[in-house]
Amino acid sequence: MVDEKQYIIDDMTIKESWRLFKIMAEFVDGFEKLSDYYPAIAVFGSARLKRTDPIYSKAETISRLLAKKGYNIITGGGPGIMEAANKGAVEGGGHSIGLNIELPFEQHPNEYANIRLSFQYFFVRKVMLIKYSVAYVIMPGGFGTLDELFEAVTLIQTKKIRPFPVILVGSDYWGGMLDWIKKEMIAQGTISPDDLDIFQVIDDPEEIVHTIQRIVLI
């Protein structure tokens, strides 16, 4: 007589084991392809913002200026701000890299990423972004953008990675969050005042480029 419970457990174990190979394959593919495109700057922001939005234009401008200075641009590969950044990279003559994530909605590869990789696992893509980027430019965005921001801040804070520029673009957009961090987190001692030095808010595209150039030499 077949033990149905044991059969289910064995079947799950086999499936999980094969999943490990898929995860390893994504890591290997990413490492092999992205190592040729150092240095890259990651640009994050909402997939939902339209081409007519001023933030789209600013992301495009920032990426174009950075590409002209010799930096490659790497994004999540999707629409909105990611598309704008990839477009700016092409206009500036840099490599335009898109690390697309497979999602049931919203995400689809944009046409301006001329180097494309596709990932099933968010955590693999996050490793690629953090490993091959020398700076983060954070445009207004949603939960995914916040996730990438605080992942980098946490790794820098805990000294798991070497510090690099983390620049928030849009003082009006990020101002409320920064006020809350100061009022609640610093006031209650859950972070140190020095932790705010990990990132900075800059609105001017030229100043963003100069800030990155001062810290990240190529």
Residues 6 or more apart whose CB falls under 8 angstroms from that of 146 comprise: none
Look at residue 11 in the predicted model and tell me its pLDDT. 52
Peptide bond between residue 39 and the one before it cis (omega within 30 degrees of 0): yes
Residue 101 has a pLDDT of 85
Average pLDDT score over residue span 30-40: 92
Query: Domain residues for 30?
Result: 4-215
Q: Mind listing the pLDDT tens digit for each residue in 60-90?
A: 999 999 999 999 999 999 999 999 999 999 9
Query: What is the average per-residue pLDDT within 128-133?
Result: 96
Closest by CA position to 43, among listed 22, 12, 64, 26: 64
Of residues 1 and 192, more confidently modeled: 192
Q: With 50 as the cut, is the pLDDT of residue 8 above it?
A: no
What is the tally of structural domains in the chain? 1
CA dist., res. 28 & res. 146, Å (int): 27
Are 155 and 161 in contact by the 8 Å Cβ rule? The answer is yes
Distance between CA 210 and CA 216 in Å, rounded? 10
CATH of the domain at 178: 3.40.50.450
Burial of 11 (0-12, 13-18, 19+ CB in 10 A): exposed
Question: Is the pTM of the predicted complex or chain greater than 0.85?
Answer: yes
pLDDT attached to residue 106 = 57
Model pLDDT, residue 25: 94
State mean pLDDT over 122-133.
95
Q: Report the candidate in 143, 141, 163, 144 with the shortest Cα–Cα distance to residue 152.
A: 163
Sign of CA dihedral 39, 218, 135, 154: positive
Kindly state the tokens that stand for 87.
Answer: 């477009």
Please report which helix (H) or strand (E) contains residue 107, including its range: none
Triad 38, 170, 148: Cα angle to 5°: 45
Tokens of 165: 């520029």
Query: Residue 134's beta-bridge partner residues?
Result: none
pLDDT, tens digit (0-9, with 9 covering 90-100), for 136-170: 999 999 999 999 999 999 999 999 999 999 999 99
pLDDT, mean over the chain = 91
Tally of CB atoms within 10 A around 48: 13
Residue 107: band (very low, low, confident or very high) from pLDDT cuts 50, 70, 90 = low
Nearest to 71 by CA among 35, 42, 41, 103: 41
Q: How deeply is 194 buried, as exposed, middle or buried, from its count of CB atoms within 10 A (0-12, 13-18, 19+)?
A: exposed
How far is C-alpha 92 from the geometric centre of its chain's CA atoms?
20
β-partners of residue 98 are 75, 116
